[in-house]
Amino acid sequence: MTKIAPSILAADFSRMGECVTSLEKAGADWIHVDVMDGHFVPPVTFGAQMVEAIRPLTSLPIDVHLMVEKPSNQIAAFQQAGADLLSVHVEAEVHLHRTITAIKDAGMKAGVVLNPATPAALVEPVLSEVDLVLQMTVNPGYGGQTFISSTLKNIARLRQFIDEHQLKVEIQVDGGVDVDTGRLCREAGADVLVAGSAILKTSDWAKAIRHIRG
Ligand SMILES: O=C(CO)[C@@H](O)[C@H](O)COP(=O)(O)O
Ligand SMILES: [Co+2]
């Protein structure tokens, strides 16, 4: 079954704790935490302290999407905060293999992330080393953007590569995901759908999660 990872970037930050517990009750599979440093992407959001704050409130896996210039500097802090999965952008990390190994050595699952214009071939050499590959379906930095359909080709290519090589890697998609675009991503081979606005900006989160899951 397709997993749903609501992004807390779309939450009311003054009620973050309640938001996380409500998402768990509404049927979320993972909690997606968007970390932005003001360099890799223009906005600054939050860091490991946010994970530390929400960790005691949920038993769901905490899925951290690092949009930072130096992901390797963040590994220890997120491990100590209780993150389950740490994903790094291929565009931000020259020493991708080393950083993936360091994340796994720290006891977390490791993910690699591709921007919409980055060829899928760039992550193929490390796919046997990771637990997850995240295809961005918008340019990173902001919630509430429009889904970029050309990314579906990358999702299908990743699906084919993973199946052909019989790898245990989940394909996650992130950005502009709603009921319609979520269906296209599932059909292209995605396993995990991140959705911010399409869940948190509605009045019935459980219904939104059910419908996006399909
Ligand atoms: O990583 C990001 C944005 O950079 C995402 O996780 C967004 O937070 C998703 O928000 P919606 O597009 O679903 O509103
Ligand atoms: Co994200």
Q: How far is the CA of 4 from the centre of ligand 1 (A)?
A: 13
Which protein residue's CA is at the shortest distance from atom 7 of ligand 1? 143
Annotated binding residues for substrate, written as ranges, equal 7, 65, 141-144, 174-176, 196-197
Q: Give residue-wise pLDDT tens across range 120-150.
A: 999 999 999 999 999 999 999 999 999 999 9
Percent of the chain with pLDDT over 70: 100
To the nearest whole number, what is the mean pLDDT of the chain?
98
Question: What is the C-alpha to C-alpha distance for residues 85 and 101, in angstroms, rounded to an integer?
Answer: 13
Given this model, what pLDDT does residue 30 score? 99
Given this model, what pLDDT does residue 77 score? 98
Percent of the chain with pLDDT over 90: 100
> Cβ < 6 Å from ligand 1: which residues?
7, 9-10, 32, 34, 65, 67, 138, 140-145, 174-177, 194-198
Given this model, what pLDDT does residue 149 score? 98
DSSP string of 149-213, one letter each residue:
TTHHHHHHHHHHHHHHTT---EEEEESS--HHHHHHHHHHT-SEEEESHHHHTSS-HHHHHHHHH
Domains of the chain as residue ranges with CATH: 3-213 (3.20.20.70)
Annotated binding residues, written as ranges, equal 7, 32, 34, 65, 141-144, 174-176, 196-197
pTM, entire model: 0.98
Q: Is 191 designated active site?
A: no
Given this model, what pLDDT does residue 128 score? 98
Given this model, what pLDDT does residue 101 score? 98
Q: Is the ipTM of this complex over 0.90?
A: yes
